[in-house]
Structure 1
């Protein structure tokens, strides 16, 4: 095991193993990570709320009742869109700065039962509306590879926390790419689970079925272990994903061969007028070659979505942004882009909303049929490289801001419509190892298992773990 000053370089599973063996105490492990939060959070904007006292108290109590969970004793963090009882949960908004839930989200309950210890609530844009992370509470989440750049969103704070070793694995969520986008720009592995795999209850809404919760990590096995914790139905859930066979786990699939797979690939966005950055295409080609070297069959395929999905998504997203009712005084506290989304949503008629949801469902069915011949589909994650924090400034026309976001979600949001599982992998860096550029793999409905097995194979063939030791931070 590494010395105590390098505990953060261990994976989540390695940290849990060290705790079980008595090589490190839970309190020591939590103190180490809290010290890193203190060192880096102010500059990089990982957290909205830190909970060091609660974390140390939980660590001390857990030390005397360790159990066999794969992640017992591991520090983590919860995205600030998800309720945590007794802890401020702001949804990234000044309008909810004083909001303290009395009930945990089911995902938080599951993480606590597994013995993970939250160090606080991670940074998110207001209501998770944007593909960058910035708000009026703590400011932007900055890219660990270059702090002048955005960390992506909406799970940008979670990505920063993991990439900098503030926690080894973190809770995140994804409504249009919010796990895969920050995974790409921060060089992480992330899983957007199938619709219904992780419960959003008891307070989470399912107005559109777009949003899901999942893990961000530095390794495939860590993400699989956290997905095992998060996954499972709860009473009243409106959606459900077919469970794994009895006795199987997602972590177990990370240790299995995926076999020889047929993989379709495309790199043309459904949205019209977008040009894919050459570096994003290079990452996609690099992944294609690696998959072929591993014995898989990689075939070009047409983009399985049409341009009409953009209007459907925008209409549904605008209505979903109204999920937090506010009086006029609190509405005035919202940021310009959030207000623009909500103003648009208020103008959507019931007929238009029903047409948008129906349109998404029809497009999803067509896409699932079109991709059925393939075990997995490969795409770029983004159509652009990370942008400067100021690129998403909200002081001007909100429509300009929204247009700038389109290159970040063009490949990701369609699979929120279909509900298929998707992962983001850090297989490629720009020249000189300067910036990570992710690619995405999409699985068949409810088939996270194949994605995890294939991702683990790719990680073994082209490991990325050691790159984090070279992050340009002191």
Structure 2
């Protein structure tokens, strides 16, 4: 693999932070139309290499910008006309929305997802739809319509998923903020692999997604950005009570951006779980890198203690929850649409439809026990730290990783089990970069926060970011070819 330092040759505006650009918009020093144009330029420069945003809607974006030009800064919302990406699992009115499945390859919705509408009301301008695996199933972003999204740091590698297009576009500066969603790490894994920040919020904090899963707590919508501060800005934009969603709840009145302003690693109490208390396989290079990262946090004034919790049954409980989601989403779907699904997606659905009552009961008891275990831990620590995923990215051609740390894996989601804990018990979690490996590929650290503790979690993530000199800057795609080194 290449070890050359990444370069950036795109427009200067595309490399700036979202917070900086919003400030420029507010002061009238740049217009939404100008930002759309530079984003379009950067997309043209980079997307052939990484395939992050295969569907664009620049004309629609310019029409939205023209409407914003007729308003004052006070009327434009928090984003002030900032262009954003939307994952191709959320409908955008008048824009091709495929969910990555062949049966919907030409679908154009008449109405947007309520979350997309909220982002637009608050000043976001949609640039296009970012790539995702079919219905978001899996952490390798590819589908039969658009093909694979590639890692901007080495285009031979997986960019993570299922919000892989969102992470990849941020890494190269196609966009300043990008929307994603998360069940088994779909905001966190691609953020880790691409060197950006992805936050999985508490269930109900961000309202959006399919109505048929309204009572499902495990699948959430959330923000992705190049920095923790920008991620906080986007979370501020996404949150708010929506009665359309039964688990939606009002957010705290204080902006999440305030939480990161005074972040400091000194005194931060971190409970570190290098392999999820023995429940997850972690490759030695990942374990060593994160262990060194924890040592660096300790040298910077944080109190780091390795802790061991009883997380037994975590994977089993997660898979039951995952099965229930797919059963609810897909039981009544058109058989003609289902016939074209990839094998791993069909397998997910069958697992859900064949669940037994004892399995569901056991899963509920396990997750309740683990939640209680975590509350005991949170009496002693501010945040839990652990891997986002047990391995570095593999070649993009591998749909899923079959072996980690000498252990053979059986199911296509097994390699992602470090992400299952936060999902299973409904806690917020974030991936933040903690440097790069010897080959120049970013490594992400997962932080898990207390119940509905997004503000403190963001502050902890910002403290980590400060220690590691982040955020990582936008880069040019590092195009490599099979056999190159």
Does the pair score TM above 0.5?
A: yes
TM alignment of 1:63-462, pairs within 5 A? 63-68=69-74, 69-200=77-208, 203=211, 205-240=213-248, 243-244=251-252, 246=253, 248-257=254-263, 260-269=267-276, 272=279, 274-306=280-312, 308-322=313-327, 323-324=329-330, 325-350=332-357, 352-392=359-399, 403=411, 405-407=413-415, 409-431=416-438, 434-462=440-468
* Alpha-carbon shift at residue 310 of structure 1 (Å): 1.5
Which residue in the other structure is 1:397 paired with? none
Q: Matches of 1:173 and 1:393 in 2, distance apart?
A: 19
Work out whether residues 78 and 237 of structure 2, in 8 Å CA contact, stay in contact via their aligned partners in 1: no
Equivalent pair of 2:317/2:424 in contact (CA under 8 Å): no
In the alignment, the residues of structure 1 paired with residue 423 and residue 385 of structure 2 have an alpha-carbon distance, to the nearest angstrom, of 16
* Structure 1 stretch displaced more, 68-77 or 152-161: 68-77
Match of 2:67 among 43, 61, 65: 61
1:12 equivalent in alignment to 2:18: yes
Q: Deviation at 1:249?
A: 0.6
Give the Cα–Cα distance (whole angstroms) in 1 for the partners of residues 306 and 155 of structure 2: 36
Q: Distance in 2 between matches of 1:28 and 1:262?
A: 44
Q: How many residues align?
A: 462
Q: CA 1:178–1:66 in 2, change beyond 3 Å: closer, same or farther?
A: farther
1:448-467 alpha-carbon deviations (Å, 9 max, x no partner): 11121222233233223454
TM-score, normalised via structure 2 length: 0.88
* Residue 32 of structure 2 corresponds to residue 26 of structure 1: yes
Give unmatched runs, 5+ long, in structure 1.
395-399
Deviations 1:321-363 (A, max 9, x none): 2303333322211111111211222222455445434543443
User: Residue 388 of structure 2 contacts residue 431 of structure 2 at CA under 8 Å; is this kept in 1?
Assistant: yes
Change (3 A) 1:277 1:111: same
Q: How far, CA to CA, are the matches of 1:26 and 1:234 in structure 2?
A: 28
Contact residue 207 and residue 320 of structure 1 kept, 8 A: no
- 329 and 34 in structure 1: CA distance in 2 versus 1, 3 angstrom threshold: same
Give, in angstroms, the shift of residue 138 of structure 1: 0.2
Cα-to-partner distance string for 1:174-197 (whole Å, 9 max, x where unaligned): 111111100110011111111211
Q: Which moved more, 1:207-216 or 1:231-240?
A: 231-240
Cα distance in structure 1, aligned partners of 2:243 and 2:472: 42
| Cα distance, 1:468 vs structure 2 | 3.0
Residues 110-159 of structure 1, C-alpha deviation per residue, up to 9 Å, x if partnerless?
Answer: 21011111111111111112122111110111100011111101110110
Separation (CA, whole Å) in 2 of partners of 1:116 and 1:240: 21
Q: Residue by residue, what CA displacement relative to the aligned partner does 1:49-69 show, whole Å, maximum 9, x if unpaired?
A: 211210121122212324244
Aligned-residue RMSD, C-alpha = 2.6
Q: Choose 160-169 or 63-72, whichever is displaced more.
A: 63-72
Query: What secondary structure, in the 3-state scheme, does the structure 2 residue paired with 1:64 have?
Result: coil
Say if 2:118 and 2:238, in contact at 8 Å, map to a contact too: yes
How far apart, in 2, do the equivalents of 1:203 and 1:454 lie?
A: 33
CA distance in 2, matches of 1:3, 1:429: 21
CA distance in 2 between counterparts of 1:202 and 1:403 reads: 26
Provide the rounded CA distance (Å) in 1 between the counterparts of 2:334 and 2:456. 46
User: Which has the larger displacement, 110-119 or 34-43?
Assistant: 34-43
CA distance in 1, matches of 2:414, 2:35: 40
Residue 207 of structure 1, CA deviation: 4.8
Asked whether the equivalents of residues 106 and 202 of structure 1 are also in contact (C-alpha less than 8 Å), the reply is no
1:239-268 superposed Cα distances (whole Å, 9 cap, x missing partner):
245732x4x110111102357232211112
1: CA distance, partners of 2:375 / 2:104: 39
SS at match of 1:403: coil
Partners of 2:362 and 2:449 lie apart in 1 by: 27
8 Å contact 1:262–1:296 — kept in the other structure?
yes
SS at match of 1:214: strand
Query: CA 1:93 to 1:358, structure 2 compared with 1: closer, same or farther past 3 Å?
Result: farther
Distance in 2 between the 1:265 and 1:466 partners?
A: 23
Q: Is the contact made by 1:151 and 1:160 (CA closer than 8 Å) also made in structure 2?
A: yes
Secondary structure of residue in 2 paired with 1:200: coil
